A and B are shown apart, each in its own frame.
Chain A
């Protein structure tokens, strides 16, 4: 029986997660420019508010005030729908990401997760698969050859890297035996050989490398941002877009980055886990324990999740301003000839190790 207070708590959680997600997207655009500036020995936008912190607000106002242009030869309906097809799935995927241990209150259990589906990670893949259509359709509906090329590149890139990404995740699923992200995070708290936390990065090192490379390709980030390669395709799929429609594509990309970072943290870095931290406090193997109240543990776990996601977001920016872009044939070769065979090898090795009871 679902009681009203629980429903209210989850409704509130939806609002809070949504607000945090959008705020992070806004500040990520600022972080991108500030960090790229520091890497290139510049200052970056620092005029609006203290340290330029209000820059996202100024950007938002600017986007809304800009003229909204629809090219005359464009397919009007699909041209308008395409940005929405990007932003909506990008925001929906975060629903199954767990950001803390279950909280045991008197009379009820609260998941720190909006929806604990039993297909968990498959839900993310399914919704992300629908997000790619915004880019493809946007590129086609603009009726511009550069946009079309961007859309086509996006389509082929997505198909190539989705296979490698799914195969890499299969390794994780084999080790932890669950599709629920909540369970995957929970099992990573158990200890390996009595002292090592059983994090994904330790049991699936090859899978992690394959996954992170594929995720960079799936989110269209440098070094795989071929769909919007500005040196050859003007702006790629969003060449013709202006005003808020362009902002939607932009926000969709950053929201995807956040979900990707959350997935990297959940699958390979223990999600909200802190090594040796349990529901009742720290328990060090063979060295005694440090008791803590439950609310403190919950706060530490949510913070730990936030720090991990923040690190991977920083890694996204770091890589973008460090590595050059791939050529398109190199990109497809890497996907089909290197990553997919490696991912298959990873699955075989994992299966053998599980049969031998090492994992």
Chain B
């Protein structure tokens, strides 16, 4: 019961943090509220019984991605906002709603089509051992494909730097 209330509160804060990330005038504030949002997501994972995902969420998103974002954003001038503020034209709001509609439809379609593998909610759900086992047994192909996509990304990054140096 308490966890339900906590999840509701955190969800509201989460939406507020992401809104702040989009609407903040100062890029550093944007990055920081995104960090808060990542942290709140991790809290949600903890409350849903997946502490491993929570830890990984903070390590990867806050510890690596956000540091990189801040690294770039900090180069902007402190007192001059380099971002143009978001303007709410009717077409913007309409397109937001359309995107939301598409995403929600996708979510419900996926939920009705994809069946959770049996024995999913067994004890140890969300533990490191269970996630590792599932990744290496039932989802090996998607896992390897994802790592291949990342590898291509790494090659792309290296290719960019090589071209810079050459000219």
Contact = CB atoms under 8 A, between A and B. Distances in A.
A162 B63 contact: yes
A336 interface: no
A162 B74 CA distance: 21
Nearest to A143: B78
Contacts of A148: 74
B62 A129 contact: yes
Contacts of B70: 133, 136-137, 140, 155
Interface string B112-133: 0000000000000001100000
Interface string A123-141: 1011111101100110111
B74 A132 contact: no
Contacts of B32: 78, 133, 137
B28 A125 contact: no
A223 interface: no
A46 interface: no
A158 B32 CA distance: 17
Contact of A73 (B54, B62, B79): B79
B67 A159 contact: yes
Contacts, number: 83
B55 A130 contact: no
Nearest to B63: A129
A152 interface: yes
A290 B64 CA distance: 50
Nearest to B74: A140
A34 B68 CA distance: 38
Interface of B: 28, 32, 35, 39, 42, 51-52, 54-56, 58-59, 62-64, 66-68, 70-71, 74, 78-79, 127-128
Interface of A: 73, 75, 78, 117-119, 122-123, 125-130, 132-133, 136-137, 139-141, 143, 148, 151-152, 155-156, 158-159, 162, 166, 179
Given A119-B54, A137-B70, 12 more contacts: A123-B55, A126-B54, A127-B58, A128-B63, A129-B58, A130-B58, A137-B28, A139-B74, A148-B74, A151-B74, A159-B68, A166-B59
6 contacts: A78-B28, A130-B63, A132-B63, A151-B74, A156-B71, A158-B67
7 smallest CB-CB distances across A and B, nearest first, come from: A129-B63, A122-B55, A126-B58, A119-B55, A155-B71, A126-B55, A140-B74
